[in-house]
Amino acid sequence: MPQLQPGDFAPQLIWLAIIFTLFYIALSRLALPRIAKVLADRKTKLGGDLSAAREAQASADQEAQRYETELANAKAKGNGTIRSAREKLEAELGEKRRVLETELAAKAAETETKVKAVLEKASGQMEAMTADVVSDIVKELAGIDVTENEVRDALRQRSKE
């Protein structure tokens, strides 16, 4: 076995020690810190990106909430406007109706008084005619001469009883 030549041990060990030490220094000082830095950079970048995304989402949520409240406000405002418009309209209508009603009532009252006057007038004429007719009938039948006023009093007394 060539591996067990004792004469080869010294150069093998010496060069192994030299090369392994240099290799260790090259890796631990040069290569590994570079890779570690790349990995750490990626980690912080990813972490930063993630937190930025989270922030963006939070602000988007806030914006959405603001939009909702504004929409609700606008709706409430619109409803208020509609209600006030309706109330105003109703008030105007009520006013007009009241005016119309009073006018109508006044006209009705006037007409009524006119009718009443005509009726009174008619009933007065009828009374006079009746009294005249009654005095004529009494004169013809009983031969008693009565005045129209006496007949009228008698009739009034009758109608009272």
**CB of 28 or CB of 125, closer to another protein:** 28
Report the distance separating Cα 59 and Cα 150, nearest Å.
Answer: 109
Q: How far is the CB of 62 from another protein (least distance, A)?
A: 30
Q: For another protein, how many residues bind (rule: CB under 8 A)?
A: 37
Interface with another protein (CB under 8 A), residue from 40, 41, 93, 154 = 41
| Cα–Cα dist 76/101, whole Å | 37
> Per CB under 8 A, does 28 bind another protein?
yes
Helix axes 32-141, 148-160, angle to 10 degrees: 130
Task: For residue 59, give the 3-state DSSP assignment.
Answer: helix
Binding site for another protein (CB under 8 A): 1-17, 19-20, 22-24, 26-28, 30-32, 34-39, 41-42, 45
